[in-house]
Amino acid sequence: DAKTTQPPSMDCAEGRAANLPCNHSTISGNEYVYWYRQIHSQGPQYIIHGLKNNETNEMASLIITEDRKSSTLILPHATLRDTAVYYCISPNAGNMLTFGGGTRLMVKP
Q: Is 43 in the site for another protein (CB under 8 A)?
A: yes
User: What is the rounded distance in angstroms from the CA atom of residue 30 to the CA atom of residue 43?
Assistant: 27
Who contacts 58 (Cβ-Cβ below 8 Å, separation ≥6)?
Answer: none
**Long-range Cβ contacts of 58-61 (<8 Å, 24+ apart):** 60/35
Q: Is 98 in the site for another protein (CB under 8 A)?
A: yes
Nearer to another protein, 7 or 100 (CB): 100
Which residue from 7, 21, 49, 106 is in contact with another protein, where contact means CB under 8 A?
Answer: 49
Q: Is 9 in the site for another protein (CB under 8 A)?
A: no
Q: Is 42 in the site for another protein (CB under 8 A)?
A: yes
Which residue from 66, 67, 81, 95 is in contact with another protein, where contact means CB under 8 A?
Answer: 95
Nearer to another protein, 33 or 107 (CB): 33
Q: Is 67 in the site for another protein (CB under 8 A)?
A: no
Contact between 65 and 53 (Cβ < 8 Å): no
User: What is the rounded distance in angstroms from the CA atom of residue 23 to the CA atom of residue 20?
Assistant: 10
Q: Residue numbers of the site for another protein (CB under 8 A)?
A: 32, 34, 36, 38, 41-46, 49, 87, 91, 94-102
